[in-house]
Amino acid sequence: SVFTEKRGRHSRKPDVFYKTLKQNTQAPRIDIFAREEHDGFDVWGNEVESDIEL
């Protein structure tokens, strides 16, 4: 898939990415190397608080 969006913050996934995944997949979902939390996704990364251990 290709997403065409204006450039955002360094290494931040565009909102359309999360919207598309939520519309086309079932939970549970995890965002690895997340920079912030998103509704419908568990998150893990060194820039966001998480209770997930890998």
Residue 2 banded pLDDT, cuts 50, 70, 90: confident
Global model pTM greater than 0.85? no
Helices (H), 1-54: 15-24
- In this prediction, residue 29 carries a pLDDT of 96
Structure tokens belonging to residue 36: 């912030």
Q: What is the mean pLDDT of the chain?
A: 89
Q: What would the pLDDT profile of 17-54 be if each residue is shown by its tens digit? A: 999 999 999 999 999 999 899 999 999 988 899 988 87
Q: How far is 37 from 54, CA to CA, in rounded Å?
A: 17
Q: What would the pLDDT profile of 7-24 be if each residue is shown by its tens digit? A: 888 878 888 999 999 999
Q: How far is 13 from 11, CA to CA, in rounded Å?
A: 6
Q: How far is 10 from 22, CA to CA, in rounded Å?
A: 23
Domain ranges of the chain: 10-54
Q: How far is 48 from 53, CA to CA, in rounded Å?
A: 13
